[in-house]
């Protein structure tokens, strides 16, 4: 009996020792794993933070791109509004000129050409014989004289610009005291026109307006041609010649008015 009791106690003691050894071994194992687990957690936290930061940065970048696009769209809308307002103002001036001008003027859109550098210094418009346009008709814009119709087709017309020396336009400049200085426009460039065959020796005030004289019956009297910048002696003759700043910007013409005769 005593031996069995002693054996039971021994078994209990042995079990306790085994439990203690297991517990110690598990604790030691867990403690050994702690640095590894801490490093994994630190790495995980850092990676997660970077991931969140990257996602946040991507979202902020996308929002920034969207805002830039919205700003660009608003700028386009603003520019379109400004262009429309300028176009409306141009059309209002053109319509007002048509109402104020004597005679019948036909509005025509420019199809091609324009400027002294264009082929043969011609301008083509979308109005022709079917609209009543005839060769020789005078062509103007609100700023001044453009030229004359040279040829027509049923739906188009070709206009020779005053920059062409072959056109020839009788002009005059008012002088102090009521007199006038007369000459003939003899072509030139988009920036300068030549006024030749000036017989008067009178002094002309600086930047005097140059208008059509109406002599010869081709061009109505009083159409603006430009501004007289200077008058100088012609070395080849007793006559003088002048330099004129054109009233019209020929390179940017979009619409013109053609005088329609009955």
Beta-carbon contacts of residue 233 (< 8 Å; ≥ 6 apart): 240
Taking domain 169-249, whether its CATH number is 3.10.450.50 is answered by no
Give exposure, 90-128, as e/b (b: 16+ Cβ within 10 Å). Answer: eeeebeebeeeeeeebbbbebeebbbbebeebbbbbebb
Q: Tens digit of pLDDT per residue, the chain (262 long)?
A: 545 555 555 555 555 545 444 444 544 554 555 565 556 665 555 655 565 555 566 677 777 777 777 776 676 667 656 656 655 555 555 555 555 455 688 999 998 875 545 555 888 999 999 999 999 999 999 999 999 999 999 999 999 999 998 888 999 998 888 888 889 998 888 888 999 888 877 788 888 999 999 888 888 899 999 999 888 876 666 678 889 999 999 888 889 999 987 6
End-to-end CA distance of the chain: 151
Q: Model-level pTM?
A: 0.60
- Say what the pLDDT of residue 158 is: 93
Strand 138-141 with 255-259, pairing: antiparallel
- Say what the pLDDT of residue 235 is: 62
Give me 180's structure tokens: 């006038």
- Say what the pLDDT of residue 26 is: 47
Q: Which residue has the tokens 């009233």?
A: 247
Q: What SS3 class is residue 125?
A: strand
């Amino acid at each position: 009996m005593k031996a069995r009791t002693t054996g039971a106690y021994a078994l209990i003691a042995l079990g306790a020792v085994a439990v203690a050894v297991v517990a110690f071994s598990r604790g030691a194992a867990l403690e050994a794993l702690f640095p590894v687990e801490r490093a994994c957690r630190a790495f995980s936290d850092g990676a997660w933070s970077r991931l969140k930061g990257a996602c946040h940065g991507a979202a902020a970048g996308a929002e920034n791109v969207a805002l830039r696009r919205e700003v660009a769209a608003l700028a386009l809308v603003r520019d379109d509004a400004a262009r429309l307002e300028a176009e409306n103002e141009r059309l209002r001036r053109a319509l007002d000129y048509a109402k104020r001008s004597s005679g019948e003027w036909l509005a025509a859109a420019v199809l091609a050409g324009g400027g002294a550098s264009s082929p043969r210094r011609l301008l083509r418009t979308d109005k022709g014989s079917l609209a009543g346009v005839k060769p020789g008709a005078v062509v103007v814009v609100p700023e001044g004289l453009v030229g004359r119709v040279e040829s027509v087709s049923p739906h188009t017309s070709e206009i020779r610009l005053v920059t062409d020396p072959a056109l020839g336009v009788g002009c005059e400049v008012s002088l102090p005291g009521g007199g006038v200085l007369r000459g003939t426009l003899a072509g030139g460039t988009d920036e300068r026109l030549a006024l030749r065959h000036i017989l008067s020796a009178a002094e002309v005030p600086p930047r005097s307006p140059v208008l059509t004289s109406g002599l010869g019956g081709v061009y109505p009297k009083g159409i603006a041609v430009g501004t007289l910048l200077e008058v100088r002696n012609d070395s080849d003759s007793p006559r003088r010649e002048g330099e004129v700043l054109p009233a019209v910007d020929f390179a940017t013409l979009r619409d013109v008015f053609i005088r329609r005769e009955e």
